[in-house]
Amino acid sequence: MKLTAVARVLDTFPPKVRDRASVIVSDFIIAEMSLARACKLPVGTFELLNLIWTRSHRDKKSSAWTVAKLLQTQVHYYRWQFNQALIQAARRGDLIMVRWVLAHFRHCHITKDGSKKRLDEDNWAFSKCWTQPKSTEESNGVMKT
């Protein structure tokens, strides 16, 4: 998977070189980028979010350590990224990005005392996006899985 901006920059290269180079450069650009950081960027795109998400699944199988690998192997980091990405998307006022986060983090929920309160404090108006936990059991953290 590659970023369109990278592919456009490398447009003058021969196709064989361009395709391979754009994947390598895209991978390098997002090497240490979290989903929350991608949501915070003013030019955050779904292409970027999808690239980071795809890389996290790819790196999960690798023996090497990467930030992306943490997303699929460490439950606390997974929950924290859900929380942070959701807050950043909400601060942008981007309902579509909020839905992307909710769709990709299906096992995380917003609790009344956690993210919802924090997002309300940021005057966020997209209350239709809230997913409520199915159980009444309260967690110490913001999310439940």
Pick from 54, 48, 80, 79: which is nearest to 68 by CA?
A: 54
Band (pLDDT 50/70/90 cuts) for residue 27 is: confident
Q: Which pLDDT belongs to residue 113?
A: 56
Of residues 77 and 68, which shows the higher confidence score?
77
Residues 6 or more apart in contact with residue 103 via CB below 8 angstroms: none
Beta-carbon-side half-sphere exposure of residue 126 (alpha carbons within 13 Å):
19
The Cα 76–Cα 130 span in angstroms is 21
SS3 state of residue 104: helix
Specify the range with the lowest mean pLDDT, choosing from 16-25, 26-35, 47-56, 91-100: 16-25
SS3 state of residue 77: helix
Length of the chain: 145
Pick from 122, 65, 126: which is nearest to 101 by CA?
A: 126
* Chain position carrying tokens 């915070």: 40
Span 100-125, average pLDDT? 68
Q: Which pLDDT belongs to residue 139?
A: 34
**Res 44 pLDDT > 70:** no
The Cα 114–Cα 72 span in angstroms is 22
Specify the range with the lowest mean pLDDT, choosing from 33-37, 80-84, 111-115: 111-115
Chain centroid to CA 12 = 31
Span 40-65, average pLDDT? 83
